[in-house]
Amino acid sequence: MNDLFPAEDFDDWAADYDEDVETASSFPFDGYAQVLRLIVEKAAAGSGAAVMDLGIGTGNLAERFARQGCQIWGLDFSAQMLVRAASKLPGATLGQADLRAEWPQDFQRRYDAIVSAYTFHHFTLPEKAGLVLRLLQEHLAPGGRLVIGDVSFGNAKERDSLKLQLGDEWEDEYYWLADETSAAFAKQGIQTTYLQVSFCAGVFEFVKR
Ligand SMILES: C[S@@+](CC[C@H](N)C(=O)[O-])C[C@H]1O[C@@H](n2cnc3c(N)ncnc32)[C@H](O)[C@@H]1O
């Protein structure tokens, strides 16, 4: 795990995070509100459903599920992000952990929906694949949904054309490419559905065949 951005970087960002994403109309957060809306729609979690938000940050996605009467669990490796999430989500079970490592005991259960926004692009493709497989095998309840929204492109050509257009504004991270994801995950028996939401973001749903 050789992180481009360690937890301390997110601690430093926590105080300004909400303002940054709410006012964003450019790369990489263009479409942020639509991405969160589509995740909620695709997760289809009704009142009382157990929802896990991975990389919960300041709680913007989880808050939408809490308003629908869902029970919220959230993990994040940044203590300062979790402080903000806790203030928005009084009834939630929150924990500090690296998502790719062993989770704390309270989180070792199955969930009716597992969701995540703008977090997995910090992980390499093999890390994404390993974590998604673990989620489907060990943490998703029967009939549950796994929905992930993030910075993503249909393929490398689309990503590279934006990179060229943005020049110095581009920041290299492990952004999702829908075509390579679909091919790599299929080898593990995982079926991928993808919807592009803005020029730089989209929403994935994963199902174990
Ligand atoms: C860009 S923020 C997204 C926050 C929130 N999901 C949202 O959509 O607003 C990325 C979040 O992922 C968390 N994160 C990044 N890498 C992580 C890791 N390896 N384990 C746990 N959390 C991680 C960061 O601390 C941060 O809160």
Task: Return the domain boundaries, the chain.
Answer: 27-208
For residue 176, give the nearest of 124, 140, 133 by alpha carbon: 124
Under a CB-based contact definition with an 8 Å cutoff, are residues 176 and 150 in contact? yes
Per-residue pLDDT of the chain (209 residues; tens, 9 = 90+): 657 789 999 999 999 999 999 888 899 999 999 999 999 999 999 999 999 999 999 999 999 999 999 999 999 999 999 999 999 999 999 999 999 999 999 999 999 999 999 999 999 999 999 999 999 999 999 999 999 999 999 999 999 999 999 999 999 999 999 999 999 999 999 999 999 999 999 999 999 98
Question: Two tokens at 99?
Answer: 């998502």
31 CB less than 6 Å from ligand 1? no
* Nearest alpha carbon, ligand 1 atom 19: 98
60 CB less than 6 Å from ligand 1? yes
- Looking at residue 5, its pLDDT comes to 87
57 CB less than 6 Å from ligand 1? yes
- Looking at residue 1, its pLDDT comes to 61
Atom of ligand 1 nearest to the CA of 122: 16
27-208: which CATH topology?
A: Rossmann fold (3.40.50)
76 CB less than 6 Å from ligand 1? yes
pTM: 0.97
User: Residue 83 and residue 100: Cα distance in Å, rounded?
Assistant: 21
- Looking at residue 155, its pLDDT comes to 98
| Environment class of 104 (CB within 10 Å of its CB; exposed 0-12, middle 13-18, buried 19+) | exposed
